[in-house]
Amino acid sequence: MFQKTSFTTLIVGVFAVYVLHTCWVMYGIVYTKPCENPKFDNCINPYLAGKPRLQLSIYTALRPNADGGHTLIHKEEDFDVETKFERIVNVSLPKKTCKNGTLYAMVFVHQAGMSPWQDPRQVHLVSQLTTYMIPKPPEVSLISAEDAPQAEQQKRKPKGDDSAVDRPVSHWRSHLTLNVVSEDFIFDRDFLPSDVQRYLRVFQNGKKRVYLPLLFVDELSNRVKDLMEINSTSTELPLTISYDTISLGKLRFWIHMQDAVYSLQQFGFTEKDADEIKGIFVETNLYFLALTFFVAAFHLLFDFLAFKHDISFWKQKKSMVGMSSKAVLWRCFSTIVIFMYLFDEQTSLLVLIPAGVGSMIEVWKVKKAFKIQIIWKGVKPTFIFGKSDESERRTVEYDTLAMKYLSYLLYPMCIGGAVYALVFLRYKSWYSWIINSLVNGVYAFGFLFMLPQLFVNYKFKSVAHLPWKAFMYKAFNTFIDDIFAFIITMPTSHRLACFRDDVVFLVYLYQRWLYPVDKTRMNEYGLSYNEEEKPKGKAHID
């Protein structure tokens, strides 16, 4: 017991150090030491402090260095860095871009009335307006065989292009988000942040060192939902140009986040994988983002502790008295279905891998619950099921009775939902319909499979057989999931699933209060709490 406690304490201590270290790192990112004496030689002054007349010009080019030509698509002649705006322009696509090529945007901030190509005091950044993704498979109505718009587009493609469905094709990024640091911050050359340094262009103006406007292209705003597939018939596509000011602290934070997403893509993460992370930063207020960090950190801690205690509980468990074996079987089935659904939807690896690990753990629990032994004879496995004692048979009897009552409500609702989806919704294939129907049943009615355990608890008038430490950590995570349900974008069915778990857990807590643990009663291991608490000393020899 001491070792378990010390290990948990160690994990909590490591978690506290991690949170404090992260807070210190975040403070170092958002805080930049200014130059205390503006007349000092080490100071770098802002060019915008002189209120110069500026112009914003945006060009498109087939190469990032504009080698081979460039085309002006938009300009703001009287560009005021303090004024937020949004413009929609139609961009003509070159033939190479229509044939699965790439197109770049070159953004210039320069002196008004002067060509950016001839202005020595211009700043510019290059951003990619296209990206490569595998097209989403077409969806059809399985009953009427009516095609969705994307399926009709697939039909119009040449016959030889069937294999191209599995190849990445060029997609149009319909949003270009620009920012300029508007505050007149004076940098100290000795404390110049490395993340800002790559965006800083400095020139000598007399005795002063001056830096040009800090221009930033927000790549995190490029979401998968805004992408448009480019085909050979596309001649021009809309581009929404958004501009707003940005603080120096937020700029540094955004640079770090953008670099992190880029690093993930270099390690093999696809555009869709990276989009899951982008959504956390783009669609969340900075204060909510800070809250999300702390919530996610605690979620990770409680997940680990719940995992540790759950595994320990099931590893030591030798009897299924008072435990609903059908609930264990259902959890195994539901986690596998959710994993198959996430795999079918090509969900991010960040979600897919934990779901796969959870499925394997639930399969192991089923093996323990049904006392299954696997004996291999060569390559052929033989399954041996253990025998149940009288108390376990009573548990199975109550469990079966609860499932009988539950089936009157559950099966008609699941079948009705599946038939409705088959008639009115579109799917990629019959397999996709089956998986979607199963996962909708899991999300909508999954909490009903927690009810047999409540019924078994009621019949035994006891909750001592439940893994309460793991339950408490999972309960904390359930309430944390409630917070995530408001902060993070997620399917409505998943959001509702978070709240219905709260209701069932509150009933568990009520039963915990209603059926207090009798410390004189023998537990499933043949021990009482009073015996466990007795000091173990050496036997007295007369």
pLDDT score of 162 more than 90: no
Measured CA to CA, the distance from residue 314 to residue 203 in angstroms comes to 68
pLDDT score of 523 more than 70: no
Task: Round the CA-based radius of gyration of the chain to a whole number and report it.
Answer: 31
pLDDT score of 537 more than 70: no
* Helix/strand/coil (H/E/C) assignment for every residue in 500-528: HHHHHHHHHHHHHHHCCCCCCCCCCCCCC
Q: What are phi and psi of 207, to 5 degrees?
A: -95, -5
Q: How far, in whole angstroms, is CA 68 from its chain's centroid?
A: 40
Q: What is the mean pLDDT of the chain?
A: 75
**pLDDT for 390:** 67
Q: Residues 319-344: what's their mean pLDDT?
A: 74
pLDDT score of 525 more than 60: no
Lowest mean pLDDT among 59-68, 180-189, 427-436: 427-436
534 — pLDDT class (breaks 50, 70, 90): very low
**pLDDT for 301:** 74
Q: Residues 400-425: what's their mean pLDDT?
A: 76
**pLDDT for 194:** 86
**pLDDT for 499:** 63
Measured CA to CA, the distance from residue 403 to residue 397 in angstroms comes to 10
**pLDDT for 487:** 55
CB contact burial 84-109 (16+ within 10 A = b; e otherwise): eeeeeeebebbeebbebebbbbbbbb
For every residue of 230-265, DSSP letters joined together read --TT--EEEEEEEEEEE-HHHHHHHHHHHHHHHHHH
**pLDDT for 215:** 94
**pLDDT for 107:** 94
Tokens 């949003």 correspond to: 175
The CB density around residue 337, as the number of other CB atoms within 10 Å, is 21
Q: Say what percent of the chain tops pLDDT 90.
A: 16
Using the Cα atoms of residue 63, residue 64, residue 70 and residue 73 in order, give the sign of their dihedral.
positive
410 — pLDDT class (breaks 50, 70, 90): confident
535 — pLDDT class (breaks 50, 70, 90): very low
297 — pLDDT class (breaks 50, 70, 90): confident
74 — pLDDT class (breaks 50, 70, 90): very high
**pLDDT for 86:** 93
Q: Which two tokens stand for residue 74?
A: 């938009």
pLDDT score of 365 more than 90: no
pLDDT score of 158 more than 50: no
- Of 520 and 101, the structure prediction assigns the larger pLDDT to 101
Q: Which two tokens stand for residue 315?
A: 């590893």
**pLDDT for 89:** 93
Q: Say what percent of the chain tops pLDDT 70.
A: 68
**pLDDT for 164:** 47
pLDDT score of 320 more than 60: yes
CB contact burial 259-273 (16+ within 10 A = b; e otherwise): eebeebeeeebbbbb
pLDDT score of 40 more than 60: yes
Q: How many residues does the chain have?
A: 542
pLDDT score of 85 more than 80: yes
**pLDDT for 239:** 93
Beta bridge partners of 147: 140
Lowest mean pLDDT among 45-54, 123-132, 410-419: 410-419
pLDDT score of 498 more than 80: no
Q: Where are the domains of the chain?
A: 32-136+167-283, 292-395+417-533
Q: Residues 235-253: what's their mean pLDDT?
A: 91
Q: What are phi and psi of 50, to 5 degrees?
A: -85, 5
pLDDT score of 515 more than 80: no
pLDDT score of 111 more than 60: yes
Q: How far, in whole angstroms, is CA 513 from its chain's centroid?
A: 36
Contact 422, 143 (CB under 8 A): yes
Contact 35, 188 (CB under 8 A): yes
295: CB partners within 8 A, 6+ apart: 480, 483, 484, 487
Averaging pLDDT over each range in 247-256, 294-303, 339-348, 470-479, which range is the top one?
Answer: 247-256
Lowest mean pLDDT among 13-27, 54-68, 366-380: 366-380
165: CB partners within 8 A, 6+ apart: 134, 135, 137, 154
**pLDDT for 347:** 63
What separation in angstroms does the CA of 201 have from each of 191, 255, 512? Answer: 16, 17, 66
**pLDDT for 110:** 94
- Of 409 and 55, the structure prediction assigns the larger pLDDT to 55
179 — pLDDT class (breaks 50, 70, 90): very high
Lowest mean pLDDT among 144-148, 168-172, 432-436, 530-534: 530-534
- Of 503 and 230, the structure prediction assigns the larger pLDDT to 230
**pLDDT for 496:** 60
pLDDT score of 210 more than 80: yes
Contact 148, 138 (CB under 8 A): yes
- Of 456 and 77, the structure prediction assigns the larger pLDDT to 77
pTM reported for the whole predicted model: 0.60
Measured CA to CA, the distance from residue 293 to residue 527 in angstroms comes to 43
- Of 91 and 161, the structure prediction assigns the larger pLDDT to 91
The CB density around residue 406, as the number of other CB atoms within 10 Å, is 17
